[in-house]
Each structure stands twice: as C-alpha cells, then as structure tokens.
Copies of this chain bind each other. A is one copy, B any other.
Amino acid sequence: MRISELSEQTDVPIATLKYYLREGLLMPGTATGATRADYGQRHVDRVRLIRALIDVGGLSVAGARGVIDALVDDPDPTLDVVGHVHSALPTSEATDDELARADAFVESLGWSTNPCNPGRAALGSALSAVEAAGLTIPDERLRRYAASAREIAEVDLDAALSSRGLAGVLHTVVVGTVMVDPVISALRRLAQEHVAHERLGAG
C-alpha cells in the first residue's frame, strides 16, 4: 500500500509517518520509484505499536525508539520485553527512604526485580501518599495485595505470550500494563460492594 493508505489505516497523518521514518521508528517501505514506496501489514503493526508506546505508555519519541531498538535487536524478544517496557515507562518521583522501603518489602516477598523497574518508586511514593492521608497499611495487608497483584501479573504474562509476533507482544505489554489498571480498579470497586453485601447482608 502507499503511504496515504497506511495513514488511513492507522489514522496517523502522513507528516507524522514521515517523521517516524526519519527518526527510525518506522522501517522504510519497499521502494517502487524515486519518491514512492510500498508498505505492508508489518508497517501497520509498527505504527500501532508506536502510537501505543507514545499515547498509551506516555513515552517520548526517543523513549519509544529505545524500546523498539532494544527489542528488534533481541534474538528472543519475549524474554526481556517486560523489563524494557517497564524501564522506558515514565517513573514516579520517590525519595531514597521511599525507595528503600519498597525494596525491603519486595525483597521480603522474594521477588526478583530489577532496579530500573518503575514499580519500586511507584510503590514507595504510593505508600507515603496513603500514610499522608492518615491510613497505615500493615505489612500483612500489603502482602495480601501483593499475592493478588501476582495473580494479575500471571494473567498479564499469559496474554503477552499468546500475542502474535514482536509487535503484538510489545503492544500487549504496553497497553496491558498501562490501560488495564483502570479495568482492575473498576472491578475492585464492584467487588468491594459485592463482598460487603455478601458478608454484611443486603445493603
């Protein structure tokens, strides 16, 4: 297909596609003339992935290129995909104390995670915010949340591993990581009410 059709199929303006080509995010099409090239399904997939990284993941163009470069060079892309995406996602601000607290908790779970995982800073600062609002989460309660988070992560990984190709895996990890949070939060609110009805009688 021509670049105009790629633009229609992906809903991304031609000028933006040309920018992705110049920046190396999008691979060149097959030249069919001095100023013409032919694009295929893998270009459509790549553009959708770029949009997911930027629009959904909140990555900069440079961040998106970093993820794509790292993964395209990776002989076994599924192996590191989670880590690469995580380390490219925007990170919360956390103090050294908050990071240390998050690390100590994650270590007590025996989880193997990497210092670049933005979940460390996110966990440390989220726990501080909860405490600033006057609530304490005892470690035992946090441990139960962690057990549920782990089950959610198993579902996430099943979904990522069943995706088609590198672009599919990346897409599932990025969109799944960032955009499924609100789904889980909504299910949690519904479940709270159901559990309250179940345990305390009809409201």
Contact = CB atoms under 8 A, between A and B. Distances in A.
B148 A184 contact: yes
A142 B152 CA distance: 10
| Interface SS of chain A | helix
Interface of A: 48, 52, 55-56, 78-83, 86, 102, 106, 111-114, 117-120, 122-123, 125-127, 129-130, 133-135, 137, 141-142, 144-159, 171-172, 175-177, 179-203
A142 B187 CA distance: 9
A199 B154 CA distance: 10
A10 to B, nearest CB: 10
B191 A153 contact: yes
A181 B142 CA distance: 12
A155 B140 CA distance: 10
A80 B153 CA distance: 32
Closest 5 pairs between A and B when the two form their complex, measured CB to CB: A119-B189, A149-B187, A153-B191, A122-B186, A123-B186
A53 B58 CA distance: 29
Nearest to A155: B144
A80 B203 contact: yes
A192 B82 contact: yes
